[in-house]
């Protein structure tokens, strides 16, 4: 149980089939890893160890009675953590915000229901920027999470705990949300895989809403194959979320293999401008690797890219101001003064842009430009099958370096926000290291509901590289 490769869902399942270990042993192994490393990482806000062990014993009993249960439950006996935006029945859910510090939901989010029914074992709830407002993990109302590659650096946000925990191999996978890059940013900064599905592919029911027209429900894993398996479980229509699609859900893990020769991939010139030299070189090297296995690359243009951040920071705060209006102290025990500074800032921005006399000048205009951004992608996808570019313009930065300047943090979303505005899927995959041995991530972007293609490209890339196998020094002793 100590080897790095055993963090793969397939490899854990193979051990169950061969009776190398029990579900209880695997669960206790991961609990031990959390206890050993999390005091340094600060990835967890709430743990559910006792409940996890009880669930593990139940699954062991099921396995003794029926060895085929593993085939029917694709996440059988796999421990995981949930970003604290996900409602979890009987387990405290704060959204990283102290205003609902004592909230214990009476129900599970739809994606949590599906993961649990597939055999997943919830270990605990993961730290995040409060309400999902942030790109660094420093806006949690509790404490910042640390990057496992260097504890003095941010892990990225807002799914900071998810990225750090998976990168440090204290969890096989974690749930995440992505409103402007909140799954892809920590995946990039921490050197793991982060998925932002097509808007509506995964139900938002039971997720504390940030911006309802932008929120996508994803996850963070160490490998692409695990990401594909999890999406096969969580995707699909939901009667509780009218924005979900009725489109059938394929078994994405069955779409991983096969040739990607002649796959035409565009590199947006706007996504190469303005990045650090080391990020630019990592993306170019990744393109060469994919070219070596048959992909065709062309330069394309997304001309409204530079407008994505201004548009996003009009649309998103407007929706935030509406979604956070319900937290008024009447139902959750704390008044609105408990909101953190960033939440207050976004509420005020959103209220202003929606107010009489400013709606047409700001919000309506932003929605018109959002349409132009969506049309940019539509035109490009008439020419290519997918796009390749950086997730972030640079590697992780030091804790405290930008937290006092909100504008600098908002600009972190320059390559991720456009995808959310257009409702497209994107897969972040590690593709190198920069100065200070800090990870660099690339994102593969596709048309709506093209997750299968993104997984195939990402999986093919993993077959010819080993970036996804690298683990932070702090995690090395976990396997001793």
Residues tagged active-site: 83, 158, 182
Distances (CA, A) of 74 to 230, 263, 325, 335: 8, 29, 39, 43
Q: Is 32 exposed, middle or buried (0-12, 13-18, 19+ CB in 10 A)?
A: middle
Output the 3-class SS for 343-402: HHHHHHHHHHHHCCCCHHHHHHHHHHHHHHHHHHHHHHCCCCCEEEEECCCCCCCECCCC
Q: Which two tokens stand for residue 102?
A: 């004592």
What Cα–Cα distance (Å) separates residue 275 from each residue in 262, 299, 415?
28, 16, 10
d(CA 43, CA 35): 11
Rounded to the nearest 5 degrees, what angle is found at the Cα of 223, between the Cα atoms of 218 and 226? 60
**Bridge-based pairing state of the strands 264-268 and 386-390:** parallel
Cβ atoms 198, 156 nearer than 8 A: no
Matching residue, tokens 């982060």: 194
What lies within 8 Å, CB to CB, of 227 at 6+ separation is: 173, 193, 195, 219, 221, 427, 455, 458
CA angle 285, 288, 289 (to 5 degrees): 90
| Cβ 53 vs Cβ 64: under 8 Å | no
Nearest to 313 by CA among 270, 348, 265, 264: 348
User: Which among 202, 274, 234, 279 has a CA at the least distance from the CA of 434?
Assistant: 279
Q: Is 205 helix (H, G, I), strand (E, B) or coil?
A: coil
**Number of Cβ atoms within 10 Å of the Cβ of 245:** 17
Integer-rounded Cα Rg, in Å, for the chain is 21
Distance from C-alpha of 10 to C-alpha of 161, rounded to nearest angstrom: 24
- Residue 4 in tokens: 């790095």
Is 327:119 a contact under the CB 8 Å cutoff? no
Task: Tell me the DSSP string of 132-171.
Answer: G--SSSTT-SS----BTTBTTB---SSSHHHHHHHHTTSS
What's the rounded Cα separation, in Å, for the pair 414 and 392? Answer: 8
């Amino acid at each position: 149980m100590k080897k790095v490769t055993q963090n793969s869902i397939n490899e854990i399942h193979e051990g169950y089939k061969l009776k190398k270990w029990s579900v209880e042993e695997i669960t206790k192994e991961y609990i031990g890893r959390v206890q050993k490393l999390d005091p340094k990482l600060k990835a967890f806000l709430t743990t559910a160890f006792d409940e996890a062990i009880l669930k593990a014993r139940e699954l062991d009993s099921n396995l003794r009675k029926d060895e085929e249960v593993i085939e029917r439950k694709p996440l059988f006996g796999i421990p995981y953590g949930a970003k604290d935006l996900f409602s979890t029945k009987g387990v405290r859910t704060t959204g990283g915000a102290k205003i609902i510090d004592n909230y214990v939901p009476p129900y599970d989010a739809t994606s949590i229901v599906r993961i649990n029914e597939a055999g997943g074992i919830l270990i605990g709830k993961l730290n995040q920027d409060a309400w999902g407002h942030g790109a660094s993990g420093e806006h949690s109302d509790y404490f910042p999470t640390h990057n496992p590659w260097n504890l003095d650096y941010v892990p990225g946000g807002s799914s900071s705990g998810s990225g750090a925990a998976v990168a440090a191999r204290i969890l096989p996978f974690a749930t995440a949300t992505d409103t402007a890059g909140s799954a892809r940013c920590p995946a990039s900064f921490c050197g793991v895989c982060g998925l932002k599905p097509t808007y509506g592919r995964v139900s938002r029911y039971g997720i504390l809403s940030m911006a309802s027209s932008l929120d996508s429900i994803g996850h963070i894993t160490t490998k692409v194959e695990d990401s594909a398996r999890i999406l096969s479980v969580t995707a699909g229509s939901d009667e509780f979320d009218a924005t979900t699609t009725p489109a059938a859900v394929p078994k994405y893990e069955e779409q991983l293999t096969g040739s990607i020769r002649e796959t035409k991939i565009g590199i947006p010139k706007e996504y190469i401008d303005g990045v650090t030299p080391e990020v630019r070189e990592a993306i170019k090297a990744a393109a060469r690797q994919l070219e070596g296995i048959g992909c065709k690359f062309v330069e394309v243009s997304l001309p409204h890219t530079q407008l994505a951040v201004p548009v996003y920071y009009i649309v998103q705060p407007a929706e935030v101001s509406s979604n956070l209006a319900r937290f008024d102290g009447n139902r959750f025990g704390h008044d609105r003064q408990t909101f953190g500074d960033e939440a207050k800032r976004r509420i005020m921005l959103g209220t202003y842009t929606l107010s009489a006399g400013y709606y047409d000048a700001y919000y309506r205009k932003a929605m018109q430009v959002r349409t132009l951004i969506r049309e940019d992608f539509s035109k490009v996808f008439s020419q290519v099958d997918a796009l390749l570019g950086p997730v972030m313009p640079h590697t992780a930065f030091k804790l405290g370096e930008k937290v006092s300047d909100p504008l600098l943090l908002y600009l972190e979303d320059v390559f991720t926000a456009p995808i959310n505005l257009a409702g497209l899927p994107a897969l972040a995959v590690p593709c190198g290291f920069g100065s200070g041995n800090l990870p660099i991530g690339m994102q593969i972007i596709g048309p709506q509901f093209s997750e299968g293609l993104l997984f195939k490209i990402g999986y093919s890339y993993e077959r010819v590289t080993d970036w996804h196998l690298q683990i932070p020094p702090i995690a090395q002793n976990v396997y001793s």
